[in-house]
Amino acid sequence: MIQSDKGADPPDKKDMKLSTATNPQNGLSQILRLVLQELSLFYGRDVNGVCLLYDLLHSPWLQALLKIYDCLQEFKEKKLVPATPHAQVLSYEVVELLRETPTSPEIQELRQMLQAPHFKALLSAHDTIAQKDFEPLLPPLPDNIPESEEAMRIVCLVKNQQPLGATIKRHEMTGDILVARIIHGGLAERSGLLYAGDKLVEVNGVSVEGLDPEQVIHILAMSRGTIMFKVVPVSDPPVNSQQMVYVRAMTEYWPQEDPDIPCMDAGLPFQKGDILQIVDQNDALWWQARKISDPATCAGLVPSNHLLKRKQREFWWSQPYQPHTCLKSTLYKEEFVGYGQKFFIAGFRRSMRLCRRKSHLSPLHASVCCTGSCYSAVGAPYEEVVRYQRRPSDKYRLIVLMGPSGVGVNELRRQLIEFNPSHFQSAVPHTTRTKKSYEMNGREYHYVSKETFENLIYSHRMLEYGEYKGHLYGTSVDAVQTVLVEGKICVMDLEPQDIQGVRTHELKPYVIFIKPSNMRCMKQSRKNAKVITDYYVDMKFKDEDLQEMENLAQRMETQFGQFFDHVIVNDSLHDACAQLLSAIQKAQEEPQWVPATWISSDTESQ
Name residues contacting ligand ATP, limited to 411-470 (CB under 6 A).
Answer: 411
181 touching ligand ATP, by CB under 6 A: no
**Which phi and psi (to 5°) does residue 420 adopt?**
-150, 80
Among 63, 312, 330, 410, binds ligand ATP (CB under 6 A): 410
DSSP state of 267: B
CB of 521 to ligand ATP, least distance (A): 10
Position 340, amino acid: G
Provide, rounded to whole angstroms, the least separation between the CB of residue 353 and ligand ATP: 4
Nearer to ligand ATP by C-beta: 33 or 353? 353
Asked whether position 570 contacts ligand ATP by CB under 6 A, the answer is yes
Binders of ligand ATP among residues 370 to 409 (CB under 6 A) are: 403, 405-409
Query: Between 403 and 429, whose beta carbon lies closer to ligand ATP?
Result: 403
Q: Crossing angle, helix 573-589 and helix 409-419, to 10 degrees?
A: 70
d(CA 355, CA 83): 99
Query: DSSP letters of 272-295?
Result: TT-EEEEEE--SSSEEEEEETTST
CB-count exposure of residue 20 (10 Å: 0-12, 13-18, 19+): buried
Closest CA to 556 of 412, 408, 402: 402
In the complex, least distance from residue 39 CB atom to ligand ATP, rounded to whole angstroms = 51
Does residue 529 touch ligand ATP according to CB under 6 A? yes
Return the axis-axis angle of helices 450-458 and 363-378, rounded to nearest 10°.
Answer: 10
The answer to whether 428 and 490 have CB atoms below 8 angstroms apart is no
Residue 572 makes CB contacts below 8 A (sequence gap 6+) with 525
Binding mask of the shown chain, residues 125 to 144, with x at each position contacting ligand ATP by CB under 6 A: --------------------
Contacts with ligand ATP by CB under 6 A: the residue count is 18
The nearer residue to ligand ATP, 376 or 570, going by C-beta atoms, is 570
Q: Which is nearer to ligand ATP, 381 or 496 (CB)?
A: 496
Nearer to ligand ATP, 354 or 386 (CB): 354
- Number of separate helices (H) and strands (E) present in the chain: 19, 23
CB nearer to ligand ATP: pick between 227 and 573: 573
Q: Which of these segments, 69-77, 116-124, 266-274, 568-576, binds ligand ATP (CB under 6 A)?
A: 568-576
Cβ 410 to ligand ATP, closest distance in Å?
Answer: 3
Cβ pair 463, 474 in contact under 8 A: yes
List the interface residues with ligand ATP, window 221-260 (CB under 6 A).
none
Quick one: how far is CA 22 from the chain centroid?
A: 34
Judged by CB under 6 A, the residue of 376, 525, 562, 592 near ligand ATP is 525
- Cross-strand pairs, 287: 302
Q: Which x/- pattern over 322-351 shows residues binding ligand ATP (rule: CB under 6 A)?
A: -----------------------------x
At its nearest, how many Å lie between ligand ATP and the CB of residue 495?
Answer: 9
Nearer to ligand ATP, 246 or 332 (CB): 332
Helix intervals (H) in 132-200: 187-191
Strand 286-291 relative to strand 462-468: parallel, antiparallel, unpaired? unpaired
What residues make contact with ligand ATP under the rule CB under 6 A? 351-353, 403, 405-411, 525-526, 529-530, 570, 573, 576
